Every structure is written in C-alpha cells, then in structure tokens.
Amino acid sequence: MAERKKVVIIGAGGFAREVLDIFDACNNAGDRYDVLGYVVESPFGTPGAIVNEKPILGGLEWLDGQHRDVFVICGVGAPELRRRLVLEAVKRGARFCSIIHPTVRMSRWNSIGSGVVIAAGCILTNQIRVGDHVQLNLDCTIGHDVLIGDFVTVSPGTHISGNVTIRTGGNIGTGVNIINRLEIGEWSVIGAGSTLIRNVPPNTTVVGVPGKVVTQREDGWDLKS
C-alpha cells in the first residue's frame, strides 16, 4: 500500500478550510493524504488551537527541517499575501504539492504548476497553462489556450474565454466574465460581477459591465503586504 503523503496548509482561515475539504474529497476518492494541520503567522492563530479537527502547529518556523517529510500548500486567498508566505516557506526549504478536487473536469493537454488549488466543479478545456500557487475556486470555467500566471486567484463562478492571459498576481473576483483574447496585467484586481471586453493594465482595479479602471496603483504595491 502506498505511503500517505503528509501535508501542511499555510493559513487556517476560510479558504484554508476549503483546501482541507478538497484533501478530504480526494481521500474519499482513493488518494492518500495525511493533513497534519496548519501553520500560521502569530496574529492569525494560536499553536494547539483546533480548526476543523486539525491543529495549528505553529508559525512558519515550524517548517524548518521538515522539507524531507512534509509537503506544503498555501490556503491564503490574497495573491500578494500568498506570495509573501510562499517565499518565506521556500526560504525554510518547503516543497509544495498541488490539489485538484475529484469533480474537476480537465483535458490531459493542460499544464498545472506547483502549489495549485483547483476547487470543486471547475472545468478546464485544453492547452491551458496554470502557473505556480494559483487558486481556481468553485465552479470556474477556463477556455482553451488560457495562460494563468503565478499567484493568480480566480474566485467562484468566473468564466474565462479562450486565449486569455492573466499575468502574475491577478485577483479575479466572484462571477467575472472575460471575453476571448484579452490580457489581464500583473497584480490587477477585477471586481466581482465585472465583464471584461478590453485588456486590463497592470496594477489597476477594474469594476463594472463593461469593466472600467477605477484605481491605478504604483508599481510594487504588492510587495507591501
């Protein structure tokens, strides 16, 4: 019998609990994961506290020396914060796994990076490239030839048409619709319910139907999380 893969989740909030649910669903489908618990920064949990029957193990320093035995996945939704936590974990020698809910429908012609979370009900067609530490939340559809950069968050119920590119750190809100052949610039935020019919510049916030830029941030704002 195959050995169970030991996993630790970074974060213990709402999305981290959903990540735990995905591991449970995969185990019910025959996979073998042993989720040991969570590691969190000190303001967000106390070591020994129990969250959905799993303990908070400590801070990121808990990962020191664990890289040979434990895989890590980040359950923090905000792309800029997720990147900071992942990079800190990398400094501590962490190695990452990806998790895909068993209900996901996906072509074998897709490429999925490391540390990726794909939640229940997503459909990915073909020739899609998903970068590292991407989160695709519930019931998203991703069309052909889409490129999703590292640390992107795609919130529930988003529909992305073919040949779309979402650059690093894009944060796509719930229920967004994106027509084909658009580019979403790095570290941009798309408000919930928006419909995109034109390209989105980097470091902007876009809202509405059709989507319009309402905020322009300075380069590097994402490094201040």
**In the chain, domain spans:** 5-97, 100-211
At the fourth CATH level, the homologous superfamily of domain 100-211 is Hexapeptide repeat proteins (2.160.10.10)
- The answer to whether 110 and 129 have CB atoms below 8 angstroms apart is yes
Which helix (H) or strand (E) segment is 22 a member of? helix 14-28
How far is 101 from 120, CA to CA, in rounded Å? 5
Per-residue pLDDT at 43: 83
Mean pLDDT of 141-145: 98
Phi, psi of 207 (to 5 degrees): -140, 160
What Cα–Cα distance (Å) separates residue 195 from each residue in 123, 158, 171?
19, 10, 14
How far is 221 from 225, CA to CA, in rounded Å? 8
132 has pLDDT over 60: yes
Examine domains 5-97 and 100-211 and report if their fold is the same.
Answer: no
What band does 133 get if pLDDT is binned at 50, 70 and 90?
very high
Which helix (H) or strand (E) segment is 56 a member of? strand 54-58
CATH of domain 5-97: 3.40.50.20
44 has pLDDT over 80: yes
What band does 65 get if pLDDT is binned at 50, 70 and 90?
confident
